[in-house]
Amino acid sequence: MLTAESEGGQLKCHPYWAAQEYGAYKLKALSVKRVSLDLQKRRQSTNRQDSGRRRANTGFEQPPETSSVNEPYVIVRKFTLSHSAEPFVPMREITQLHYSSWPDFGAPAQPNHLLGLVEMSNSMQRASLSPTTGSNTRMDEPEDSSLVRPLLVHCSAGCGRTGTFCTVDSVIDMLKRQRKEHKSGVTPMEITTSSDSDYMAKGKKPKKEGDGDGWIFDEEIDLVQKTVEDFRKQRISMVQTLRQYVLCYETVLEWICQERTGGRSGRIGNEPRVSGNRSS
């Protein structure tokens, strides 16, 4: 959730996480806490978790570091959702990350705050995997969409801040895929898609000019611009303002800089590029 409940005297989002019954649905609150968005703290915590998983071979996540008063933070809520018509179906446990310091028409989020939010959401997604599967995943690896639980992103209108978060998350994942290909030394040859917008799809036809999926590995393509263009075909006004568009580049560049300067282990010398010959 990328909006405060109210901004400028206007209601932006109802508290749908409040414990109550919504028709046949029953929601029960489990916990709420404030967690630091400080990347250094989170990465140190993640490294400890990774080493613990290697020793114990489990997928349990250690509690995230709490935030002090002056640090950027996100509110983490956990609640369960059940349906009265399905009493024997296990309750769905939901984790909500609520970042309220990104006003709709005010100053944009800082790149390191947005990057911290993206990494925290990815970390919690991976923590929801089974112990066996979760122990084999690393934060520097691209996402396996067939394994992770779904992630729903929203703000007030669901296009400006939502589009910015989704663009940054998607581009970083694509850069991780590029890096994985660089490390393997193998250029993907069998890539295709049913449409020109599904960059995740893989098929069995050889890649040829015009196939939409090949642009992930084309270093001459501006990944941010292409991703925003792709999202706008699906929902109008995704990444709504120029400042949000610039924030996408700043946050992705922040991720690349931190990867190169020791923010995470497992880096390689030949990092992928955000864009090639084109500029925005």
Confidence of residue 251 (pLDDT cuts 50, 70, 90): very high
- The DSSP string of the chain is --S-SEETTEE----TTSSEEETTEEEEEEEEEEEE--HHHHHHHHHHHHHHHHHH---PPPPPPBP-TTS-EEEEEEEEEEETT-TTSPPEEEEEEE---S-SSSSPPPHHHHHHHHHHHHHHHHHTS-HHHHTT--TTSPP-TTTSPP-----SSSSHHHHHHHHHHHHHHHHHHHHHHHHHT--------SSTT-TT---SSPP-TT-GGGGGG-TTS-HHHHHHHHHHHHSTTSS-SHHHHHHHHHHHHHHHHHHHTTSSSS--SS---S-SS---
What pLDDT does 141 receive? 77
Mean pLDDT of 233-254: 95
Residue 240 scores a pLDDT above 90: yes
As a whole number of Å, the CA-based R_g of the chain is 20
Residue 33 scores a pLDDT above 70: yes
Mean pLDDT of 177-195: 62
Mean pLDDT of 168-188: 83
Residue 206 scores a pLDDT above 50: no
Lowest mean pLDDT: which of 117-126, 209-218, 238-247? 209-218
What pLDDT does 38 receive? 81
pLDDT tens profile 4-18: 999 989 999 999 999
pLDDT tens profile 60-82: 344 455 555 568 899 999 999 99
Q: Give the chain's mean pLDDT.
A: 77
Confidence of residue 42 (pLDDT cuts 50, 70, 90): low
What pLDDT does 261 receive? 84
What pLDDT does 127 receive? 84
Residue 58 scores a pLDDT above 60: no
Lowest mean pLDDT: which of 9-13, 156-160, 202-206, 236-240? 202-206
Q: What is the pTM of this model?
A: 0.76
What pLDDT does 46 receive? 56
What pLDDT does 11 receive? 94
Q: The tokens of 185 are what? A: 């030394």
pLDDT tens profile 101-157: 998 877 788 999 999 999 999 988 888 876 555 445 566 777 776 677 889 999 999
Residue 52 vs residue 242, higher pLDDT: 242
What pLDDT does 31 receive? 96
